[in-house]
Amino acid sequence: MGYHHLALACRDIHAIHAFYEGVLGFELVKVEVGPVPEGGWAKHFFYRMENDSRFVAFWEMHDVPDTDGFETNLSKAAGVPDHINHIAFDVADAEDLERRRQQWLGAGLEVLEIDHNWCRSIYTRDPNDNVVEFCLTTGTFTADDRETALAAMSAKEPEFSPPPASIQQHRVER
């Protein structure tokens, strides 16, 4: 079972559209427009990721009470460090991860690449200032991994995980 959609508020649907459809290649397939129970109205845009069961969606609000100046960055809104709340999409293989990295660089975006020892990830920011990730699982999960995870739930001073195998910052060439 996967999730059907992730829905986020945005300030600039045109910038969101340029990023999620123009850069990521997710197709805008549906909009729902209607009143908001608290007042005002909103447009709810759905971007298809891989099939008609996987979407990322964005709300554009109009005249909704108490939404002036709302924070679109999930981590800032929650008051946690920027990397804590982020959006991670999967890729099929290493070639797809590399294609996505080149796609982001070609769009003028900086890319952080991390080999986490069990997965490889690339990160950038979307127009909402959220960290967006493409991630490729490269390892397998063992019974020991599960036991370590279960023990960490109540450990007051857990053993730290090994550091990432590599971290690279890819900057746009100007």
Domains of the chain by start residue, with CATH: 5-62 (3.10.180.10), 78-170 (3.30.720.110)
Task: Compute CA 80 distance to the chain's CA centroid, rounded to the nearest angstrom.
Answer: 16
Measure Cα distances from 155 to 105, 125, 168, 170 in Å: 41, 33, 31, 36
Contact 93, 134 (CB under 8 A): no
At residue 173, the pLDDT reads 76
Residue 50 has a pLDDT of 86
The pLDDT assigned to 43 comes to 98
Q: How confident is the model at residue 1, as a pLDDT? A: 75
List, in order, residues 6 or more apart from 113 with CB less than 8 Å away: 101, 120, 121, 122, 123, 166, 167, 168, 169, 170
* Whether the Cβ atoms of residue 59 and residue 10 lie closer than 8 Å to each other: yes
Beta bridge partners of 169: 112
Reading the block at residue 168, the tokens are: 């690279």
Q: What is the pLDDT of residue 2?
A: 82
**How many whole angstroms separate alpha carbon 132 and alpha carbon 128?**
10
What pLDDT shows up at residue 123? Answer: 98
Q: pLDDT 10s per residue in the chain (174 long)? A: 788 999 999 999 999 999 999 999 999 999 999 999 999 999 999 999 989 999 999 999 999 999 999 999 999 999 999 999 999 999 999 999 999 999 999 999 999 999 999 999 999 999 999 999 999 999 999 999 999 999 999 999 999 999 999 999 999 877
N- to C-terminal Cα distance for the chain?
Answer: 43
- SS3 state of residue 135: strand
62 DSSP β-pair partners: 41
Nearest-CA neighbor of 108 among 125, 129, 130? 125
